[in-house]
Every structure is written in structure tokens, then in C-alpha cells.
Structure 1
Amino acid sequence: MDYEVVELGYHAQKIAQVARDLGLDFYPVHFEVCPAEAIYTFGAYGMPVRFTHWSFGKAFERMKIQYDLNLTRIYELVINSNPAYAFLLEGNRLIQNKLVMGHVYAHVDFFKNNRYFQRTPKNMVNRMETHAEKIREYELEYGYEKVEQTLDAALSIQEHVDFRAHLGKKSKPKNEKCGARVERKRNPSLTQYTDLWEEEIGEEKEEAPPEEDVLLTIIKKSPTLEDWKRDILSMIREESLYFYPQIETKIINEGWATFWHSRIMHELDLTEEEAIEYAIMHSQVVQPSSLKLNPYYLGLKIWESLARELSTEELFEVREIENDVSFIRNYLNKDLVEELNLFNYRKIGAHWQVTGTAWEHVRDNLVRN
């Protein structure tokens, strides 16, 4: 890098203050500059410290090859913890790190305030380090192959957990009626009694039956599972529940971070050269893809649409209560679908064909998938 770490720290504090002035509320963030190999290792494992498994190595090789071929580039990684940890790519220019830091502060604001993250452990880095140590002990005691077979089995069903386990009374939004108020503002046909209707629904809602949590069912009910295997399944389940909210909020979270890094950067006193470089980098982040949906682009466009209609306070309320499914279902409208040229398609015979452009069908297809 052609600038000092001290200078980077100065800009981190300055950008944090700008973010706070704009209304963002985030945990303390510790930044660390890392080489590409470390960044992609963290990305493959999901954490700086975690148990070893061949699937992580496979993910690392794929990500590293794409980086070496200049096909993709991870500028940063941020960990949902308190304090939060963010890892900046060694070789980033100062203007790149300014954008990244603004992006990170918005992510951490989302982690701190979105209801789907309310019960995720904020010391998960330490907990995963403990998990890794215990699994190494089991490898020494029972053999590497037996432990690997158990991990293979556990990881093959790791997504089959009750994702509602991290929701509950503690995760209710600070203003429980904010969602209805925001929705009424965008849909005047809704009445003032919507709040009462939602409260009744909320009171009747029950927890998911335990059978929906396959890992928990095996942990609790298997009569033949050895204790050490049961312990490994419990660790995998805990880690899956930690990562699940990030899967549920990819579009809304990346859109939120992009929305705010743009506003933060406009508040900074950039040189002409920095402004041009920032504009290029930002456009690359939100560039639509012809092959797949860009979550940064879709999320940003929905947030920008909301910002034209709602106050900043109401934007924070939306950030507090929504996940990807509800965000798309509630706020992806006809105008946005047409502006973004979204459509449904599938492979028919040997060719991919457009199967529909009706905006409701496009929205519903995104919600289902």
C-alpha cells in the first residue's frame, strides 16, 4: 500500500462519524488489512477461525482461481460480531478502502438492528474457535476419517434447521407498528386497522414444529448417536443458525450497504481523481449481470425507490423488520420490474427462453427462489 496504516485509521474514524451523522447505528468496527490469500481463506471458511473440512478447501480454490484470473475480487469481509471485524484487501487504494469502510459501517448497522440478527451470538468468532479445538480433539481421539464422515453427514443437512429459532420476543422491532405504517404510506388503500389485524396474526402464530429442524431432531431423538457425534451436530447447528440470517438477507443487506456507502462518499471531500475512481468502482459493484441477478443492484434500486417516498426514519424501520422475501414481496413494484427489465425464463429444449414479463409473476418467482 502507498499510504500508512495511521492514515487509514484516521479515515476510518472520519467515515464512521459521517455514517453516524447520517443516522447509522453500528457496533465498534476493527479493521485489519490482509493479503488476498487470507481474505479468500476467510471467505471460504466463513470465519477467520473454523474447523477444517475439504469443502472449505474446495471453495477456497474456486475463489482464489477466479481472483487470480481477475474474474472476481473481494475488497473486504465483515464479521457479524460485537465488536465487528472487517478485513480489507491488501493492495486496495485509499479511495477503494474509503468506499469499503462506508460499506462496512452500513453492514454492521444492519447486523445490529435487523430483527433476523437479534439472537445471533456476538462472540461467534470465539465460539467457532472453541468448536475447531473440540473437533481437533475428536480427530485425535476417534480418528480423522470418522470425524470427517460425521462432518460430511452434518454439513449435508446443515441448512435443515429451524430458521425461526433466532426470532422471538427479543427480536421484535423497536416500533412494532412501523411496518404497517410504512406499508400504508405506499399503499393508501390499507386502513388504520391493519395494525390490529397484524397484532392478532402475531398472537396466533406458533413456533415451528421441532421436526422442521432436522439437525435438532437427530440431536435430541437419535437412540444410536454417540455423544461426540451429537456434540459435532450441535456445533454445526449452532453455526448454521448463525449464518442463516445472512442467507435470508443477502439482497436487502447488500442493497442497504451500497445505498449508504454512496451517501457517505458524497459527504466526503474527495479530490477529482478520487471522485472519478469512486464512480468507476461503484458502477462495477452495481453493474447488472446478464447471467445472474446482482443482489447489490437489485437491493440498491429498491432502497432508492423507497428513499423517494419515505423519510429516513421510515427507511430505518424497513431495515429493522424485513428480510429478502418480505423486502421483495412488499417493495418490488411494477415500475421497478420494468425499469430493471426483469423477466422469468427457463430452459426449453436446448434453448433458454423468456416465459413471462408480468411484474407480479416476476416478483413472485423471486420470492419463491
Structure 2
Amino acid sequence: MRKELRQWAEILRERALAAGLSFPPVLFEEVGPEEMAMLAAYGGFPRRYPHWRWGSEYLRHRETYRYGLGRIYELVVNTHPVRAYLLKSNTLLAQKLVMAHVFAHADFFQNNLAFKPIPKDMHEEMAHHAAFVEKAMERHGARSVEEFLDLALSLENLIDPHAPYIRRPEKEGPEEAEPPKRLRVRPYLDPYVNPPPEPPKEAEEGGRPEPLPPRPTRDILGFLARYAPLAPWQKGILEIIREESLYYVPQAATKILNEGWATYWHTRLLLPLLSPEEALEFAELQAGLLAPHGFNPYRLGYLLLKEVEERWDKGRFGPEYEALPLGERLTYERPTGLGLKQLFQVRTVHTDLSFLDTFLTPEFALRQRLLNPEDLPRFAEAKKALLFRLTNGGYPIVELVDANYGNRGELLLEHAYEGVELDLKKTQAVLENLYRLWGRPVHLKTVVGEKETLLSAGS
């Protein structure tokens, strides 16, 4: 990185720390548009397992930049140290804005509770995943592995997003004999490092087999990696897909709040340092970032954080504030400083879902022109629809409830129907892929046309 940028990075780092942000070391690197497109296609990592989807993403990012339809100013990766990539063609001011933005992202990654159980060594893990898949291709043929990757990736959303935060004993009930010691390794390597235990003996005649799974689970991909009749390398790939999907869950769950937090802080850190000439360029960049076109997470997150800060600084908060009708809000003043303290708390404990549910009010929506006055009676309905979009990343909630349905070794899944029907064509394709992995029929309970329906594949 250029000497001038290194100096500005240090200035902005010191200002961020003095303002109360806390973060691990941040490594900045300038890259050209081609390399930026490659990194964006790989999700911010320099190496991923070989698959055609990365090439497709690379072409999309490259052509978007080439034809002036958009540009990636920066990429920041949740690792330790945090790695950030800056586009070489940015102006000096744009680079300063981006670096301030990145320091706020680094603070968010370190302090938001949704990121606490997420591993920080994913640079190394992604490289290990790539080596595992490449070795499988050497041993079993590139075409076989690519076809299995296609199959596995079609199911990458069948995970439990809460899995990293839940710790349950493997078995519940009376204390059993101490299990054999196992070496701690990544799940996809476990079959190779720790030999499987002896298969359980057949149940006595008339005995009841233990239910499988012991309780309904949303971690369908993890269940398949453990119990599906697959080769070890196939189970390893399922674990890789699951692990990488879980890594990205908190980023998807905090997109609005995270980008709003970074925008709030790059504004606060950089504005006092600008010359009059730079102020104009900054205003142009900021206007583009906060453009009110479509659904803009930067704009919504930034404006709502400013709303929270102002509300607490002026004492307009709490249930008594929310209960008052529009136009009758409390107006008394309190000392400033409460708002900033509240922002740090919001940054720590909220995801997008709870953030919007708690602070998105009709008054805010009217003031920021998120809805027209005549649409006010429909605000509650619109907010509910937005929160529904954010639940589970916008994907249907499906649980595996029985792996021995009808006592035939078939899978039974249930869809948590909440008024929105499944896309039947996509659902059938997913069921067919599950059948290919499980080897026995797969069934899904859902609602179609307001009637409970059982969809099946393989029967």
C-alpha cells in the first residue's frame, strides 16, 4: 500500500480507537479491478474450492465494472486480522472514506454478539477446503466431484442458522460409559482421523428404537453429512458446504445494521478532516451511497442509527414514547451523550430483525419518506412483511422431524407455514436432490391452497 495511504490508515485507526471503537489489526491491500472481481466472486477470500459458480460470479462483477454499471470500492473479511481490499482506481478521498468504513466494520465483527462463535481463521479453512476438494477430484474424478458439489450446493440453505450458538449434550438421560477420546479436527476431516465407533447392536425384540433425529432439526445438511449413505469424501464436502454457509449467516443477518454502523462512523471520523474541496467530493460519494432508490441497506441502517442517537440524546425513548400517537411525542431535552452510548449497545446486541422491530416507527418512516402519509394505515403490515423477509435470510423454515418415516427409513420434513406458500417447482427440485443423497423417498408436509399437503420425491 502507498505510503500516503498507510499514513491515513494510521490516522483513521487512532481516531476510531479514541472514539471508542475496538477491533483487531486491519490489513489493507490495494488491488486492481480484475483481482477485486475475483475476490468478490470468492466471497472475499483468495482461494476457494474449484467450482463453476465462482467463474460465473467473477464474470458478473468484471462486466459490471467494465461497462460502468457499478464498482466495488472495498471488500472486508471477518478474520483475525481483518483483511480489507481497496480498489486502486479510487481517489485518495474515496480510499480514506473506505478505510474509515472498514475500521467500523472491524469493530462490528468483533463486538456484535452474532459474530461471537464464528471462527476467525477462515482464510486458512477456505484453503484447506480447496485442498480437500482438489484431492477428491484427483482420486475420484473431477466430473464426479463437480456433480456432487452441484448437488450439495443446491441444499446449502438447509442449515440451522442458530447451530453455532447452541450447545446440547449428544444424548440426554442417565449417565453412560465414557466415550472413547477423539482428536479435535474440522468435521469434514473427522471420518479420516477418528475411526467410527462400532455400529449399535440390534434392539431386543419388542424394544423401541431411539428416534432419529432425537428432536426436530433444521440442520438437515449436518444430519445428511452424519447419517446419509455416502462415501467419506462426499460427507466431507457436505460438511464443507455447511461450515461455509454458517460462516456467512451473521453477515446476512446484520447487513442493514453493519452497513449503517460503518456509514455512521466513516462520516463521523472523516468529516472533521476534510478540506473544502474534499467536502464536495465526500458529499457526492455519500449521496451515491445513501441514494433512496430501491431497498438500500446503507441508507436504512445509517438513518435509523441517527434516529436512535437523536431519540436518546433528546430523551425521546422508552415505552411511553412509543405509545404516544404521531404528533404527540415527548419533546423534553436531556444531556447529550446518551445517544452514542445507546448506539454502542445497539451495535452489540441487535441483528437486523431485532433492530428494525425495535426502532422502525411510523414517524421515522414518514420523516424519511419511506412511505407516503396516505399509506400510514398500512405501515404495520409493510413492517411485518419486511421483518418476514429478514427471518431465516428470507428462506422457508423447514425441519427434519423423522428419518424413519413409516418405519421405512424415509425422511419426513415439515415446513413452518406462516401464510406464504412454497415455490412448488423449486421445492420439488430440492426434494429430488435430497432423495439422491438419502437414497430413500423424502416427504415434506406443507400447505398448498390452504390445505395441508404431503409432497414427495422418490416414491
* TM tier, smaller: 0.7 to 0.9
Cα 1:209–1:103 change in 2 (3 A) is farther
User: Which residue of the other structure, out of 317, 327, 342, is the alignment partner of 2:355?
Assistant: 327
The reply on whether 1:75 has 2:79 as its aligned counterpart is no
Q: Which position in structure 1 is the counterpart of 2:344?
A: 316
- Out of 281, 284, 288, the residue aligned to residue 292 of structure 2 is 288
Q: How many residues align?
A: 315
Residue in 2 that maps onto 1:213 = 219
Partners of 2:371 and 2:34 lie apart in 1 by 38
Kindly indicate which of the two structures has a greater share of residues assigned to helix: 1
Q: Is the 8 A contact 1:356 1:362 kept in 2?
A: no
* Structure 1 equivalent of residue 415 of structure 2: none
- Indicate conservation of the 8 Å contact 1:210/1:217, yes or no: no
* Shift, 1:211, TM fit: 2.4
In 2, distance between residues paired with 1:251 and 1:150?
34
Structure 2 Cα separation of the partners of residues 306 and 168 of structure 1? 31
- Aligned position for 1:24: 21
Q: Are 2:262 and 1:254 equivalent residues in the alignment?
A: no
Give runs of aligned pairs for residues 104-183 of structure 1, distance below 5 A.
104-168=102-166
Q: CA deviation at 1:355?
A: 8.6
Q: Tell me which of the two structures has the higher relative contact order, counting C-alpha pairs closer than 8 angstroms and 6 or more residues apart.
A: 1
Equivalent in the alignment of 1:359: 379
Say yes or no: does 1:279 pair with 2:279. no
Does structure 2 retain, via aligned residues, the 8 Å contact 1:115–1:167?
Answer: no
Matched, 1:368 2:388: yes
- Considering only CA atoms, is the larger Rg found in Structure 1 or Structure 2? 2
Residue 33 (1) aligns with residue 46 (2): no
Q: 1:358 to 1:168 in 2, by over 3 A?
A: same
Rounded Cα–Cα distance in structure 2 between residues aligned with 1:6 and 1:32: 12
Work out whether residues 161 and 213 of structure 1, in 8 Å CA contact, stay in contact via their aligned partners in 2.
yes
Could you say what secondary structure the match of 1:78 adopts? strand
Q: Quick one: which amino acid aligns to residue 113 of structure 1? A: N
Q: Counterparts of 1:168 and 1:226 in 2: how far apart (Å)?
A: 28
Distance 1:340 1:357, change over 3 A: farther
- How far off is 1:325 after superposition? 0.8
Deviation of 1:340 (Å): 3.2
Give the conservation status (yes or no) of the 8 Å contact 1:116–1:166.
no
Q: What code does the residue aligned with 2:288 have?
A: Q
Cα distance in 1 for partners of 2:108, 2:131 equals 31
Aligned equivalents of 1:92 and 1:243: distance in 2? 27
The Cα of 1:357 is off from its aligned counterpart by 5.8
Aligned to 2:175: none
User: C-alpha displacement at 1:341, in angstroms?
Assistant: 3.0
Q: Which amino acid aligns with 2:219?
A: D
Q: Which amino acid aligns with 1:32?
A: E
Whole-angstrom distance in 2 between the partners of 1:285 and 1:68: 20
Which one-letter code corresponds to 1:44 in the other structure? A
Measured in 2, the distance between the counterparts of 1:316 and 1:236 equals 33
CA contact (8 A) 2:97 2:266 kept: yes
Name the CA distance, whole Å, in 2 between partners of 1:13 and 1:330.
Answer: 36
Task: Go from structure 1 to structure 2 and tell me whether the alpha carbon gap of 1:216 and 1:276 turns closer, same or farther (over 3 Å shift).
Answer: same
CA shift, 1:209, in A, is: 4.9
The answer to whether the Cα contact below 8 Å between 2:362 and 2:376 also exists between their aligned partners in 1 is no
User: SS in structure 2 opposite 1:92?
Assistant: coil
- 1:327-367 per-position Cα deviation (integer Å, ceiling 9, x unaligned): 111111111221233359xxxxxxxxx99862212211110
Which AA in structure 2 matches 1:337? A
Question: Which of 331, 338, 341 does residue 369 from structure 2 map onto?
Answer: 341
Quote the Cα distance in structure 2 between the aligned partners of 1:355 and 1:306. Answer: 23
Contact residue 308 and residue 342 of structure 2 kept, 8 A: no
**What is the aligned partner in structure 1 of residue 240 from structure 2?**
235
The one-letter code of the counterpart of 1:302 is L
Distance, in Å, in 1 between the alignment partners of 2:266 and 2:381 is: 32
- Which residue does the alignment assign to 2:50? 52
CA distance change for structure 1 residues 220 and 210 in 2, over 3 Å: closer, same or farther? farther
Q: Distance in 2 between matches of 1:100 and 1:300?
A: 16
Deviations along 1:193-246, whole A, 9 cap, x unmatched?
Answer: xxxxxxxxxxxxxxx956211111101121x11110000111111111101111
Work out the CA distance in 1 between the residues paired with 2:272 and 2:20: 13
Question: Offset of 1:295 from its aligned partner?
Answer: 0.5
TM-score, normalization: structure 2? 0.66
Report SS of the residue matched to 1:122.
coil
Specify the alignment match of 1:244 in structure 2: 249
Q: Tell me how large the CA RMSD over aligned residues is.
A: 1.8
Q: Deviations over 1:53-97 (max 9, x none)?
A: 111211221122111111111100000011000000011111100
Where does the alignment leave 5 or more consecutive residues of structure 1 unmatched? 170-207, 345-353
Normalising by structure 1, we get a TM-score of 0.82
CA distance in 2 between counterparts of 1:212 and 1:6 reads 50
Give 1:23 shift: 1.0
Take 1:8 and 1:258, find their aligned partners in 2: how far apart are those partners?
Answer: 20
